[in-house]
Structure 1
């Protein structure tokens, strides 16, 4: 009797499932594809996936709709097309199964790979339409291959991927690639650059903290980097072959550069003041030929005549960050006079400028979004003076309606011995402390 009762329940369950599926099918078929598209557009990818297993017909409808949306795999939610992958080993298996169904719709993949295995191999098989790819903490060495993958890839980032080698990078150098960033790597030498075609689309190249990077590889293919608009090069060079006095050989072949971010240390050299001046003369002479330059960050000593040459030659400058401990009012005035109305960021740390000098700078640079005065011998009146200048600029009818003046000016300092009422100017100056004692802790005044 018990077996018969169980069989009856099983049959009833099957019948109920069939009735439910038929009912769901009728509901789905009651609207055409355009109507469902309009309805499903209101749901995020995450919400759609949570309902995907309701029934077969609904699963088919949802997966078909998702396949036409530009999906982004990211650790943070960007928009309704973002899918956040949980950071656990257990999540990777189900995610790979989902990729096999919907991977062709994935366009951007930005993920910390610490907990996942065979990430690149999985993406090769499932996501042929990737446009952007950023991999962080990829531990496994990629198997070398002569096949180029991800033909539509336009930007590629390897961050803290110690096992990525030159051969690994080569398989991503497609004709579509425009931006390449490799940071905190101990194996890449730069040899992969030999595989760039003479006519390539690389516009942005960043090689930062690549321990094994060899500068001669970069020099040998500099003729293929004529389209670069952004160059970021950070290197602690322990080779006997010095780099700092050879950077001009790169700039001569990169006339379209708009942004340069250079942090080069030749560790085996102990230059004197005369040699620093000589290398700075060569460096600034070369970058002053870059007429499109709008952002310069470099660990090169700047004297007044360098600042004057830079300001008069590169009239599109918007951000300046140099070693300024030799800059006087003369150099600052030249900078403000020629590019002050356009400047957004200015780093004057370690300079010997006075309160009057800095206040005049704030008047001349109304669009400033960042001003760094770390390690400057500012007086206690410095911040109030800057606040007055900023407020005067707000009241100037010429700039009264500008958005950038409505926000407090982010001002970075190492110390400030002010004992008055900071509330009087918290609306115009936002002081940030950057020193050993404060460790870049932001304070709102």
Structure 2
């Protein structure tokens, strides 16, 4: 009997009919429930099976809130590896699914022309973080991402004020620019400031403080303000920072690290400068995170503790403070403090141990370059254990967020401890610092 060869086209038709039958066997609600169990990564693998599956999957994806990052966050995250090899296929995927993308974190070093692609394919972006863009964006007067609320440019040297204007939607509430050579701050004039809550301008070389000061009235709803600036102009900035604070009564977080490079002053000038600055800070009743490279004397610390009753984190330039100022801070705000920077102070072992007992919620303490002995760490560990052991009898026993259950992250100068970290690893996570950074403060919280 003659053998019959199978027609490959018939096989493809049969497979297509089978797929259609499977898909049509369930209604849209059932498929939604099933596909909800799959991550975006898994859905993309399914999408390539055939046209019927592709149609089903792409329809489902259109109702998902997709995030594109270099590491997994949840089932709606599409992982974008930092490799130029993935860029061609990723661009093809964006053409199909771009309208579903609402959050994207991309490295311009690997993805050529990323902004042009995003403009064409991702109109619904709400969160956008771009790093390492080294080319100017093509000029346009069009506002490309009307739903954008969160925008970050980091190490994007050639981004200009005109470039930023292309992103300033009416819903923008957070803007971060880090390490930039071109931005002057002129874009602030076009900012829809009523919605703006968080503004971070860090290491922007061409930034002119006058633009920020001019629009301060329009930033009255700002809750977070971070300004890191090495001022190479002879016009002072530090002495004018209080003018910003006076116009931003809703500030909850401050991060100032400003250096007037051409000015050198004595202690009396710094004292007068700090007096003016802290007078404004103490009027911020909602302040809960404070980080500023202003010299602090005991009376500043006490005024801060008395007036800013929401304080949770305090980072200071505390060369001038003594036990008197520390006791005032601990007495008024100690029970609620989460973070405290006492680096560079003249405080000794007894002072720090007293601080541990007064601040049971601390999770981060910097005592690097203080006047502590090599035995201070063991004493701090013992105090932390005492607090933990006596927790049941304290008023913090019922607090769901009681940080005594966590290890204290303790920052010290490398040579301030000689011993075995194993002896206190139950209560302390030790971190070493090898040099003192006087140019810029810590940005751990930003």
Give the TM-score, by structure 2 length.
Answer: 0.93
* 1:112 Cα deviation from its structure 2 partner: 1.2
Aligned equivalents of 2:108, 2:135: Cα separation in 1: 10
The superposition leaves residues 170-204 of structure 1 with CA deviations (integer Å, 9 ceiling, x where unpaired) of 1111110000000000000000011124x521110
Corresponding position: 1:124 with 2:123: no
2:333 — aligned with what?
A: 339
Alignment of 1:127-142 (within 5 A): 127-142=122-137
From 136, 153, 156, the equivalent of 1:158 is 153
* 1:421 Cα deviation from its structure 2 partner: 5.9
1:323–1:349 Cα contact (<8 Å) kept: yes
Aligned equivalents of 1:336, 1:416: Cα separation in 2: 27
2:433 — aligned with what?
A: 434
2:372–2:416 Cα contact (<8 Å) kept: no
* 1:381 Cα deviation from its structure 2 partner: 2.6
1:78 — aligned with what?
A: 73
* 1:126 Cα deviation from its structure 2 partner: 1.2
Aligned equivalents of 2:256, 2:397: Cα separation in 1: 37
1:109 — aligned with what?
A: 104
Alignment of 1:241-256 (within 5 A): 241-256=235-250
SS at match of 2:195: coil
1:311–1:338 Cα contact (<8 Å) kept: yes
Alignment of 1:44-443 (within 5 A): 44-197=39-192, 200-396=194-390, 397-398=393-394, 399-400=396-397, 403-416=402-415, 418=417, 422-436=421-435
* 1:47 Cα deviation from its structure 2 partner: 0.7
1:20 — aligned with what?
A: 15
| Higher alpha-carbon deviation: 343-352 or 34-43 | 34-43
Unaligned runs of 5+ in 1: 438-445
Aligned equivalents of 1:155, 1:177: Cα separation in 2: 6
The superposition leaves residues 394-425 of structure 1 with CA deviations (integer Å, 9 ceiling, x where unpaired) of 12222346541122211100035555665443
2:421–2:430 Cα contact (<8 Å) kept: no
The superposition leaves residues 24-71 of structure 1 with CA deviations (integer Å, 9 ceiling, x where unpaired) of 111111111111111111111101111212111111001111111000
Change (3 A) 1:140 1:304: same
Aligned equivalents of 1:109, 1:424: Cα separation in 2: 44
SS at match of 1:144: coil
Aligned equivalents of 1:262, 1:419: Cα separation in 2: 34
1:75–1:85 Cα contact (<8 Å) kept: yes
| Higher alpha-carbon deviation: 350-359 or 408-417 | 408-417
Aligned residues, how many? Answer: 429
1:394–1:400 Cα contact (<8 Å) kept: no
The superposition leaves residues 45-103 of structure 1 with CA deviations (integer Å, 9 ceiling, x where unpaired) of 10111121211111100111111100000011100110012323232122112111111
SS at match of 2:147: coil
1:69–1:105 Cα contact (<8 Å) kept: yes
| Higher alpha-carbon deviation: 319-328 or 82-91 | 82-91
Give the TM-score, by structure 1 length.
Answer: 0.93
Aligned equivalents of 1:431, 1:57: Cα separation in 2: 57
2:441 — aligned with what?
A: none
The superposition leaves residues 209-248 of structure 1 with CA deviations (integer Å, 9 ceiling, x where unpaired) of 0010011111111111101000000000001111000001
* 1:285 Cα deviation from its structure 2 partner: 0.9
SS at match of 2:31: helix
Aligned equivalents of 1:117, 1:429: Cα separation in 2: 45
* 1:144 Cα deviation from its structure 2 partner: 2.1
